[in-house]
Amino acid sequence: MTKSHIELTINGKKVEALVEPRTLLIHFLREQQNLTGAHIGCDTGHCGACTVDMDDMSVKSCMTFAVQAHGTEITTIEGVAHADGTLSALQEGFRMMHGLQCGFCTPGMILRAHRLLQENPTPTEDEIRHGISGNLCRCTGYVNIVKSIQYAAAKINGTPFQEAAE
Amino acid sequence: MIPGTFDYHRPATIEDAVALLSRLGEDANILAGGHSLIPLMKTRLASPDHLVDLSGIGNLKGIKVEGDTLIIGAMTTQFELIASEALERHVPIIAETSRLIADPQIRYKGTFGGNLANGDPGNDMPALMLCLGATYSVTGPEGSRQIAARDFYQGAYFTSLEHGEILTSVSIPIPAAGHGYAYEKLKRKVGDYATAAAAVVITMADGKCTSASIGLTNVSDTPLLASGAAAALVGTSLDRTSVDAAVLAAEVITSPASDMRGPAAYRTKMAGVMVRRALERAQSRAKG
C-alpha cells in the first residue's frame, strides 16, 4: 500500500513524515515522534487516555489515522507546560489537588480539560463533569480531578478557588 | 489493535469523491468522522482496500436556513450541531439529541451524515429525522436524488444508499414556532447506545394537541416512526387516557433484540417510558 506524506505541527514544531495510511495517530505520536505522554488505555475509543488537542478539538488519537492529522496543529501533554518549563495552570492544579493517583489517565484528562477551559473559562462543577465524560479514571473517583480543573480555572481567571462539594 | 492495510484518498470535491468510489468499486469505504468505521477496522470486522475521506470537501459542511427549511451538510459534526444558533432557534431537538450521543471527544469528529448513513440501528439521529420528516440528498454516478428519511432505512446497516452514492445534505422542514419537543434516551452510561429512546415533536393550540410526530431509536432493526402513537394524541388534551393509548401504540411496533442492554420485553417497556417522558417534557415546552 502507498505510504502517505503528511505535514503537521506538533507542540509548535513542524513535522513531516511518511506514514502508512493505517497508522493510528497515537502510534505515530508514541513510536515515530517519541511523544509517549498520550497513553493507549482501552484502544477502543472509550477511555480517553489517548486524548490530544487537534485544531482546537479534543480528539481520541487511537480512533484517528495519522493521515487524518495532515495539515493540523496538535498539542500533546509534552507541549502543555510553559516555555520556561514551569507547569501550566492545569498541571499545577492536578499537582496541588491530588488529581491523580496512578497517573495513567492524566495526560488525556489535562488535554481534555485544556480544551474545555478554552471553550468555557468558568465551568460549573456539572459542566466539568460532562466535559470530561469521555475520560475514564479508575483510581480517583473524579472528585479531585474536578477540583484540579476548578483550581486551574480560578488560577487562569484570577478568581478565588472554590472547591467542589464532596 | 492495528487495522488492515488500505490506500487513503482525500478528494476535494463531491464529483471527485463520486468518481473515486465508482472507480474503486466495492472495496472502497467512505470515511467521515471515523468513529464507527475505525473501531470496525481495528477489530478487522471491516477491511476496506480504500478509504475515501470526505473531510477535504468544504461544501459538505454547514448549517443554513432557506425559507422554512433547514439544510445541514452531511459532514457537519455533532459539536457544530450543538454550537449552532440557527439550530437552537429553529429546531432545538437536534442539539438536545446530539448532546446524548457518545462523548465530547467523539462529538468533535462524529458527523451528522455518518450517524444517518451508516444504518446502525443504535444511532440516535435517524429516528429524529423520521420524526421531523427530513429528506436526504445523495449524489452518485447517475447524479443527485432525494430520499425521504422515512424511506431510507431498510434493515440493520442496510439503507437505500447505493454503493458509490454519498449523502451530501439533509433538508428538515422547520417545525411551527412554539412547538414542543424532547428527545429522551435511556442508556447505561455516557457513550452507550440507547436501551430505548424516543423523539417527540408536538404542536398545541388552546390546550389541544394539533399535531404530533414520534420516532423511536434502537428498538428494531431500523428506526421507527410511531404514526399510530402520534395519531392517538392529535385532538386530545394529552390527558392520561390518550397518553396511555399512545404509549401502548408505540410499544406494539417495537421488536428489540434481547442483548446486554436487557431482554426484549424490558426494552419494549422502556420505549414506552421514553415516549411518556418525552411527551411530558414536550408538552411543558409547547406554547398554546
pLDDT at site B288: 79
- Which residue on chain B is closest to A69 by alpha carbon? B55
Query: Domain A89-157 falls in which CATH fold?
Result: DNA polymerase; domain 1 (1.10.150)
- H helix intervals, A14-137: 25-27, 89-96, 106-119, 125-131
Domain count within chain B? 3
Of A22, A44, A63, the CB nearest to B5: A22
What's the rounded mean pLDDT across residues B209-229?
A: 98
Kindly list the residues from chain A whose CB atom is less than 8 angstroms away from the CB atom of residue B55.
Answer: 68
Residue with cell 507547569: A87
User: Which pLDDT score, from 0 to 100, does residue A2 have?
Assistant: 86
Residue B18 domain boundaries: 7-51
Same domain, B255 and B220: yes
Residue B200 in contact with residue B179, Cβ under 8 Å?
no
- pLDDT for res A166: 55
Q: Is the pLDDT of residue A165 over 80?
A: no
Q: What is the CATH number of the domain that holds B213?
A: 3.30.390.50
* B261 & B236 share domain: yes
What architecture (CATH level 2) is domain A4-79?
Answer: Roll (3.10)
Identify from B27, B77, B105, B108 which residue to disrupt to test chain A contact, counting A C-beta atoms within 10 A and taking the largest count: B105
Q: Are residues B95 and B112 in the same domain?
A: yes
State the CATH number of the domain containing residue B47: 3.30.43.10
Q: Flag whether B288 is in a domain.
A: no
Strand positions, DSSP E, B3-107: 7-9, 28-31, 50-53, 63-66, 69-73
How many Cβ pairs closer than 8 A exist between chain A and B? 82
Q: What is the pLDDT of residues B3-27, one digit of tens each?
A: 999 999 999 999 999 999 999 999 9
Q: Is the pLDDT of residue A164 over 60?
A: no
The pairing of strands B28-31 and B50-53 is: parallel
Instruction: Specify whether B66 is located in the same domain as B135.
Output: yes
Half-sphere exposure of B194 (CA within 13 A, CB side): 33
Which residues in chain A have Cβ-Cβ distances shorter than 8 Å to B6? 1, 21-22
Contact A131, A112 (CB under 8 A): yes
Can you tell me the mean pLDDT for B237-241? 97
Cβ–Cβ of A57/B79 closer than 8 Å? yes
Measured between beta carbons, the chain B residues lying within 8 angstroms of A3 are none
All CATH 1.10.150.120 domain ranges in chain A, comma separated: 89-157
Residue position matching grid coordinates 431500523: B222
Chain B residues within 8 Å of chain A (Cβ atoms): 1-8, 10, 31, 34-35, 38-39, 41-42, 51, 53, 55, 79, 102-106, 108-109, 190-191
Nearest CA in chain A to B110: A59
> How far does A57 lie from chain B, in Å, by closest CA?
6
**What was the pLDDT predicted at A163?**
72
Contact B79 A67 (CB under 8 A): no
Q: Tell me which residue of B157, B132, B214 sits closest to B29, measured CA to CA.
A: B157
Give chain A positions within 8 Å (CB) of B34.
63-65, 68
Task: Indicate where chain A has its CATH 3.10.20.30 domain(s).
Answer: 4-79
Q: In 3-state terms, what secondary structure has residue A81?
A: coil
Beta strands in chain A (DSSP E): 4-10, 13-19, 51-54, 57-60, 73-75
User: Sign of torsion, CA B115 B120 B125 B128?
Assistant: positive
Spatial neighbors of A75 by CB under 8 A, at least 6 apart, are A10, A11, A52, A53, A111, A114
Start-end of H helices in chain A: 25-27, 89-96, 106-119, 125-131, 143-157
Residue with the three cell numbers 454516478: B141
Average pLDDT of the residues in B262-275: 98
**Residue pLDDT, tens place only, B170-201:** 999 999 999 999 999 999 999 999 999 999 99
pLDDT at A162: 75
Regarding whether B27 and B84 lie in a shared domain, the answer is: no
Q: For residue A133, which residues of chain B lie inside 8 Å, CB to CB?
A: 103-104, 190-191
Q: Which residues contact A117 (CB under 8 A, 6 or more apart)?
A: A90, A123, A149, A152, A153, A156
A70 contact residues in B (CB cutoff 8 A):
10
> Residue B81's pLDDT is what?
98
- Cβ <8 Å between A24 and B51: no
Cβ–Cβ below 8 Å for A65 and B8: yes
Asked if B104 and A133 come within 8 Å (Cβ–Cβ), the reply is yes
Distance (Å, rounded) from C-alpha B243 to C-alpha B56? 47
Q: What pLDDT, on the 0 to 100 scale, is given for residue B242?
A: 98
